[in-house]
Amino acid sequence: MIKRISQIAFAFTMVLMLVSCKNTKQKLQEYVVTYNKTIAPSFRADDVTLTTARGYINDDKIELRFETNLEQNEANKSAAVISFPKLIKQMIDKDQIPRQLIEEGVQFDVYFLADDNTVLDKEILKGESLKDFLK
């Protein structure tokens, strides 16, 4: 009797574990929804007016956009090249950009945009480049 109960409990546990496991595409989709609902509305950084996430499930890619109130000029572009990677590192450290997704092969295309939506700086986070941001 105890052996039978143990077998049933083991089978139930295995089914539960399989059902609760999420694949990378599900995690990607869940991250985008969570980012736009919880992180983006409360996000604060110098000159950033809006941030949004967009997921590309078939490409295993997430696009993060940071819209700013900065004009598109060389001074702001030079400053962005220095400050934007620091902002990304802080977000990785706070798990606002999850290392686990990057390690599972999801690429993050992260854009720092001027007030006219032109690119001040762009960073691509994938497995190899993650080490550079964690230095």
- 53 inside domain: yes
- Containing domain of residue 80, as a range? 22-134
- 9 inside domain: no
Q: List, for residues 18-70, the tens digit of each pLDDT value.
A: 445 789 899 999 999 999 999 999 999 999 999 999 999 889 999 999 999 99
- Count of helices and strands (H, E) across the chain: 6, 4
Whichever domain contains 115, its CATH number is 3.30.300.250
pLDDT of residue 127 exceeding 60: yes
Would you state the structure tokens that stand for residue 53, as one six-digit string? 């996430």
Q: Counting beta carbons within 10 angstroms of the beta carbon of residue 24, is it exposed (0 to 12), middle (13 to 18) or buried (19 or more)?
A: middle
- 76 inside domain: yes
- 57 inside domain: yes
pLDDT for 37 equals 96
- 126 inside domain: yes
Q: List, for residues 63-109, the tens digit of each pLDDT value.
A: 999 999 999 999 999 999 999 999 999 999 999 999 999 999 999 99
The count of domains in the chain is 1
| pTM (two decimals) | 0.81
Q: What is the DSSP string of 41-94?
A: HH---TTEEEEEEEEEGGGTEEEEEEEES--SSHHHHHHHHHHHHHHHHHHHHT
Q: Measuring CA to CA, how many Å separate 108 from each of 7, 13, 21, 33, 75?
A: 44, 35, 22, 15, 26
- 96 inside domain: yes
- Taking alpha carbons only, the member of 48, 129, 123 closest to residue 82 is 123
CA atoms of 118 and 115, how far apart (whole Å): 7
